[in-house]
Structure 1
Amino acid sequence: MTETPEARTRRRWITMGEIIGIAALVISGLSYWDAHEERVAPPKPPTAAPAKEKPLVLTGTLSDAHDRIELHPASADDVIQTQTIRFPTSVRADAVDTTGNARIEAAWFESGLRAALKGTKLHAGRHRLALGIETSYVAGDATRTDRAVYDIGYTLHERLLRSDAVAIEGVSLVRRAGDDLQAAVDARFAAQLPKPAAEPEPEATAAEAKPKSG
């Protein structure tokens, strides 16, 4: 039996329709699979936030004679490399640099401190001395720099016929500082100093005390 042209055209459309239907079925199946995978897949862990940089804090260990204090980071993860110690300008104008042996010695500042205190009302007892510490240290895999103002606690001990002895008592953090470290130290030390002792007014001479005649 000979197939008519109309039958061939109808069969061709049926074949195209079947292909389109199969393609739609495949796409629908893939969409369902993707949706199912999203439902059953375990949730991704949240991305960890970068660790916040911890500021350097120094603590001290006193020598038996209280003439030296060794400095250590409060965190065991920090390692000090070098330090520059800046004293108040009126106590010591030049800075002291240390490498690998972080410390403060009373001999570095005691004579200058006595000179700066001369003429003030500061008496024997416990007092504080401002100083600046610039520290290069290693934290993890990074080398960092910290600048901060610290207070050295010290005691003045009176000695017969000799200058007062200076004994270091401890160290404490005051605040962070930037490039103005020296200025910050000088300002804090100025606030720590007592006012100069007032000079007695000169007594009036007999001539000045005698009232003028009218």
Structure 2
Amino acid sequence: MSESADQARTRRRWISLAEFVAVAGLIIAALGFWNSWSERRDAQADRAQAAQDAAKKSRYVLKGEVASDKSVKLTRDENHPLSEARVSFPKALGVGPQDALADSINADWFAKPLLKLTDGGPDDRTGRLPVLITYTYNDADGEHRASGIYDVIWQTRPGTLPLQGRRLTIANFRLRHAGGSQAELDRLWTRP
């Protein structure tokens, strides 16, 4: 049984049509796969951005400024109210941790040991005291705990009366970096 030229041409046309349908199906499948992959990638990027925005919104870095009474007033943020703030000093200074529940850091906490360490030197001095502040704050997501190492810039000045001696005041307050530990604080401390 041999086929005629017309039959052979018809058979080849059907093969070509079948090949065309197969290639078209392959292209449609590839486009569907690419579209699905693209949507997944975009959804992952959106989720990552939303998580980053939420973390940024809930993150709070404690700040403070020197008040007129020469203490450091911790700034308040209505979105992140403080429920606890604990100030730790280098162990070599001999000052125990202090609670800053009144939202302030007072020079009285460390003035006596620092004046003792700087005794015998010039009356006008400026130095840096690293402190570790561990604080707890709240936001819409609940309670969070954070810490940071801060520099308390101090100054000593002679007293106004001859027998009054020297006095220590706080001149500035700066964040050195977020995070930290007591061991790192002790490494950062250098005697004045």
Pairwise same-fold verdict (TM > 0.5): yes
Residues 1:64 and 2:65 aligned together: no
CA drift at 1:52: 4.5
Q: Which amino acid aligns with 2:73?
A: E
Percentage identity across aligned positions? 21
Matches of 1:53 and 1:112 in 2, distance apart? Answer: 40
Q: Which amino acid aligns with 2:154?
A: Y
Does the residue aligned with 2:182 lie in a helix, a strand or coil?
Answer: helix
Which residue is 1:164 aligned to? Answer: 166
- Provide TM-score, normalisation by structure 1: 0.58
> How many residues are paired up?
144
RMSD of aligned alpha carbons? 2.6
- Within the candidate set 62, 79, 82, 2:81 is matched to 79
Does the residue aligned with 1:90 lie in a helix, a strand or coil?
Answer: helix
CA drift at 1:113: 1.2
Matches of 1:175 and 1:98 in 2, distance apart? Answer: 19
Does the residue aligned with 1:78 lie in a helix, a strand or coil?
Answer: coil
Which residue is 1:144 aligned to? Answer: 144
Q: Which amino acid aligns with 2:61?
A: V
TM alignment of 1:24-39, pairs within 5 A: none
Matches of 1:166 and 1:61 in 2, distance apart? Answer: 17
CA drift at 1:174: 0.7
Matches of 1:91 and 1:122 in 2, distance apart? Answer: 20
Q: Which amino acid aligns with 2:114?
A: L
TM alignment of 1:38-117, pairs within 5 A: 47-48=46-47, 49-50=50-51, 51-54=53-56, 55-66=59-70, 68-72=71-75, 76-99=78-101, 101-117=102-118
Structure of larger gyration radius: 1
Matches of 1:71 and 1:60 in 2, distance apart? Answer: 4
Matches of 1:53 and 1:113 in 2, distance apart? Answer: 39
| Higher helix content, 1 or 2 | 2
Matches of 1:127 and 1:57 in 2, distance apart? Answer: 24
- Is contact 1:177-1:184 (8 Å) kept? no
User: What residue ranges of structure 1 are gaps of 5+ in the alignment?
Assistant: 1-42, 195-214
Q: Which amino acid aligns with 2:91?
A: T
